């Protein structure tokens, strides 16, 4: 083989090696995240939303962050029977939307914390998944995370009555703010609510059942006022159908 022939064979490889390798162009990748209350509807603006965070799963670098906003969704569609995989959300259903510029497949951790309106009851959940440049993550309901738990809003223990009793009360609702009431979609009969009296040493000194008190989501009981002296009150609510639970400390009494 002549020198010229050898050069002709080698030249393409030499030129290819000399050319710089250009990074792939970033592609806009839309993402929709929705947060569903366990046993209920979507967590939206009425509850301050749920704070969504999208981060690089390996490094923790924040890619996008913000609250879900919008309505809780169509009750019949969400709570009624639907074919497997059917979309439950509509355009007005609460969501967090972002567009990420990705130049390669990205393993991300998507987390949600909420409801923002009730820090005592708020919990967090997270999922790890791949996002692919240019591939929409908005199809159907988007990426859905489920918040387990119940919102518990204790009222301050009331001043003692003449008979020596004091009223303890709390409002309980799903994480979406969905109402609990007798015979409703979220029937009050399936919720167990109790007040735990905590002494100065942090031990349980008494436990009292709270019954539905006639207003949406409100549970209450009358207990001896003397049992509250110098003690804290912890309210515990449990949905006996789903196992969802919420816990909150009552503010000091008057």
Asked if 27-148 and 151-249 have one fold, the answer is yes
Check residue 199 and give its pLDDT: 86
Q: Where are the domains of the chain?
A: 27-148, 151-249
Q: How far is CA 84 from CA 73, 81, 87, 140, 149, in A?
A: 18, 9, 9, 12, 24
Residues 6 or more apart from 223 whose CB is under 8 A from it? 165, 166, 168, 195, 197, 206, 208
Q: Is the pTM of this model over 0.75?
A: yes
- 142/166: higher pLDDT: 142
Q: In sequence order, which ranges of the chain are alpha helices (DSSP H)?
A: 3-18, 75-79
Check residue 82 and give its pLDDT: 82
**How does residue 15 score in pLDDT terms, banded at 50, 70 and 90?**
very low
Measured distance CA(223)–CA(163) in Å, rounded: 10
Check residue 159 and give its pLDDT: 80
- 35/232: higher pLDDT: 35
Which CATH code is given to the segment(s) 151-249? 2.60.40
**How does residue 24 score in pLDDT terms, banded at 50, 70 and 90?**
low
Neighbours of 144 (CB within 10 A): 17
Check residue 227 and give its pLDDT: 77
> What is the CATH topology of the domain spanning 27-148?
Immunoglobulin-like (2.60.40)
Please state which of the ranges 45-54, 131-140, 200-209, 230-239 shows the lowest mean pLDDT.
200-209
Provide the phi-psi class of 122: left if phi over 0, else alpha when psi is between -120 and 50, else beta. beta
DSSP-derived 3-state class of residue 227: helix
Mean pLDDT of the chain: 90
Measured distance CA(152)–CA(217) in Å, rounded: 9
- Residues in the chain, overall count: 254
Is the sign of the CA dihedral 91, 93, 99, 100 positive or negative?
negative
Q: Taking residues 204-223, what's their average pLDDT?
A: 94
pLDDT per residue over 61-71, tens digit each? 999 999 999 99
Check residue 169 and give its pLDDT: 96
Among 49, 234, 46, CA closest to 147: 49
* pLDDT above 60 (res 220): yes
Strand order in the sheet with 51-56: 62-67, 51-56, 106-114, 123-131
Is the Cβ–Cβ distance between 39 and 241 less than 8 Å?
A: yes
* pLDDT above 80 (res 230): no
Among 107, 108, 120, CA closest to 52: 108
């Amino acid at each position: 083989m002549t020198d010229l022939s050898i050069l002709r064979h080698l030249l393409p490889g030499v030129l290819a090696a000399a050319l710089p390798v250009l990074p792939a162009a970033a592609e806009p990748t839309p993402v929709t995240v929705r947060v569903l209350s366990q046993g209920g509807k979507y967590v939206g603006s009425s509850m301050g939303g749920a704070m969504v965070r999208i981060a690089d799963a390996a490094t923790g670098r924040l890619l996008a962050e913000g609250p879900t906003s919008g309505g809780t969704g169509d009750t019949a569609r969400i709570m009624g029977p639907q074919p497997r995989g059917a979309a439950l959300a509509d355009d007005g259903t609460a969501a967090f939307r972002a567009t990420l510029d990705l130049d390669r497949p990205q393993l991300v951790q998507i987390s949600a914390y909420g409801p923002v309106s009730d820090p005592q009851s708020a919990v967090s959940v997270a999922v790890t998944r791949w996002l692919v440049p240019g591939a929409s993550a908005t199809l159907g309901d988007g990426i859905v995370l489920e918040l387990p738990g119940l919102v518990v809003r204790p009222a301050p223990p009331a001043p003692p009555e003449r008979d020596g009793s004091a009223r303890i009360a709390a409002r309980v609702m799903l994480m979406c703010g969905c109402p609990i009431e007798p015979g409703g979609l979220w029937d009050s009969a399936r919720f167990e609510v109790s007040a735990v009296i905590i002494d100065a040493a942090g031990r349980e000194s008494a436990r009292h059942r709270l019954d539905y008190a006639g207003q949406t989501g409100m549970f209450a009981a009358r207990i001896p006022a003397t049992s509250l002296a110098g003690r804290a009150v912890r309210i515990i609510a449990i949905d006996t159908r789903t196992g969802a639970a919420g816990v909150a400390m009552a503010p000091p009494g008057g």
